[in-house]
């Protein structure tokens, strides 16, 4: 019995069927993607059936959802479920904290779709870029990017993140930030006729990494696609596109190549460190940029190989992060930004929603929401 419990799992039939339909996939497509017999998919959608743990992971991978989703009898799904595949194209296993952030973010997008809010204020370019249309994507994201440079010309990633976030929110994209003990760096919901919402996981990320995540998710918004930000994903066309556009905006080709010529004779780690500091980009994104521009096809591989074996590349750039948190109004602004509180307090004042509704959505006191909104009105130019 213990062996059976350890190696066999029983997905909930309705959960598998609901997720599959939300993904617009046939049973045959799931079976092919998961590399399991069609009969297995038919059986687990019909009645409770124990399958191997390995097979359960394969089904979750094919549906691109956290594996926990397969076992919930009340799983909430829609056609815009984020693609929760992580490094190695494996399904993410989210903690309860991660799932809670996902649920709250989706509830915010659903709530703001109500007629109580000014729909003209939302970002108007959701889904206007096709994957592969690099020039248009770079053009759109560049208009939202707000680099803040030091006297030496180097980009300050912390200040740039702050100003770019304000730019995104001024354009009608809500940006939420919070610490979640899961491996993903961010995700977004971006559907036509809804307010797009970006979530950045600030746990264990240095400023440069958070900035790259923010731009990566902004590319998801303009493509009208959801996804989870994990820089180790190299074999997913959408994720690679988002990564390459974010990198191109942060590290423009001509400027990047000119600076690279100054450091190319250094060892790869030293060169990446210098480039990363100059452009305010994460080290991993910087190393990939060298390869993507065709400067050195083997550069990323050489940089990865140069890292200490006991430190995975995704952790390399997360060291020595300073915690800019705190319990006051600043920490709440860091979590919720300006746009969401501004919209909520406006709806409360117009009596379109109650103060309790605003509290229920954010867990913030009305006075706190009002204070953030007052500050935000100036920052957002409203």
* All CATH 1.10.260.40 domain ranges in the chain, comma separated: 2-77
Enter the tokens of residue 66. Answer: 């956290």
Q: pTM of the entire structure?
A: 0.77
Residue 234, pLDDT above cutoff 60: no
51 has which bridge partners?
9
Whether the per-residue pLDDT at 38 is higher than 50: the answer is yes
CB 207 within 8 A of CB 161: yes
- Reported as half-sphere exposure (CB side, CA atoms, 13 A), residue 84 has a value of 24
For residue 270, pLDDT beyond 90: yes
pLDDT score, position 333: 94
Query: Looking at residues 63-82, what average pLDDT do you find?
Result: 72
Alpha carbon distance 90, 66 (integer Å): 9
* Whole-angstrom distance, CA of residue 367 vs CA of residue 9: 48
pLDDT digits (tens, 9 = 90+) for 318-362: 333 333 334 589 999 999 999 999 999 988 988 888 888 898 888
Query: Is residue 119 a contact partner of residue 169, using CB atoms and an 8 Å limit?
Result: no
What is the distance, to the nearest Å, from the Cα of residue 256 to the centroid of all Cα atoms in its chain?
25
Q: What is the pLDDT of residue 77?
A: 61
Q: Which residues contact 103 (CB under 8 A, 6 or more apart)?
A: 76
Which residues does residue 227 pair with via DSSP β-bridges, in sequence order? 188
2-77 falls under which CATH superfamily? lambda repressor-like DNA-binding domains (1.10.260.40)
Q: What is the mean pLDDT of the chain?
A: 83
């Amino acid at each position: 019995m213990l062996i059976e419990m350890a190696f066999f799992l029983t997905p909930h039939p309705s959960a598998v069927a609901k997720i599959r339909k939300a993904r617009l996939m046939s049973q045959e497509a799931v079976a092919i993607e998961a590399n399991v017999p069609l009969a297995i998919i038919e059986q687990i959608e019909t009645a409770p059936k124990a399958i191997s743990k390995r097979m359960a992971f394969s089904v979750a991978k094919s549906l691109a959802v956290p594996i926990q989703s397969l076992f919930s009898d009340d799983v909430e799904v829609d056609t815009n479920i984020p693609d929760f595949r992580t490094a190695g194209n494996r399904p993410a296993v989210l903690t309860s904290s991660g799932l809670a952030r996902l649920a709250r973010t989706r509830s915010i997008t659903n709530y703001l779709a109500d007629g109580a809010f000014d729909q003209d204020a939302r970002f108007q370019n959701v889904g206007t870029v096709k994957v592969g249309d690099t020039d248009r994507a770079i053009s759109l994201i560049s208009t939202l990017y707000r680099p803040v440079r030091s006297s030496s010309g180097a980009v300050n990633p912390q200040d740039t993140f702050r100003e770019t976030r304000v730019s995104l929110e001024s354009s009608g994209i809500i940006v939420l930030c919070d610490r979640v003990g899961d491996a993903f760096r961010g995700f977004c919901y971006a559907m036509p006729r809804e307010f797009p919402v970006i979530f950045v996981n600030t746990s264990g990320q240095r400023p440069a990494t958070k900035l790259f995540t923010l731009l990566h998710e902004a590319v998801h918004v303009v493509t009208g696609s959801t996804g989870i930000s994990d820089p180790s994903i190299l074999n997913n066309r959408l994720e690679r596109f988002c990564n390459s556009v974010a990198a191109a905006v942060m590290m423009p080709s001509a400027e990047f190549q000119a600076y690279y010529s100054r450091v190319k004779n250094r060892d790869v780690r030293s060169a990446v460190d210098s480039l990363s500091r100059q452009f305010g980009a994460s080290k991993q994104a910087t190393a990939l940029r060298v390869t993507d521009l065709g400067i050195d096809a083997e550069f990323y591989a050489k940089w990865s190989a140069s890292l200490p074996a006991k430190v995975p590349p995704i952790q390399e750039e997360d060291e020595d992060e300073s915690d800019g948190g705190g319990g006051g109004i600043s920490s709440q602004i860091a979590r919720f930004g300006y746009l969401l509180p501004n919209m909520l307090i406006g709806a409360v004042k117009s009596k379109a929603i109650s103060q309790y509704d605003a509290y229920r959505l954010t867990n913030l006191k009305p006075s706190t929401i009002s204070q953030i909104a007052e500050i935000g009105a100036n920052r957002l130019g409203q």
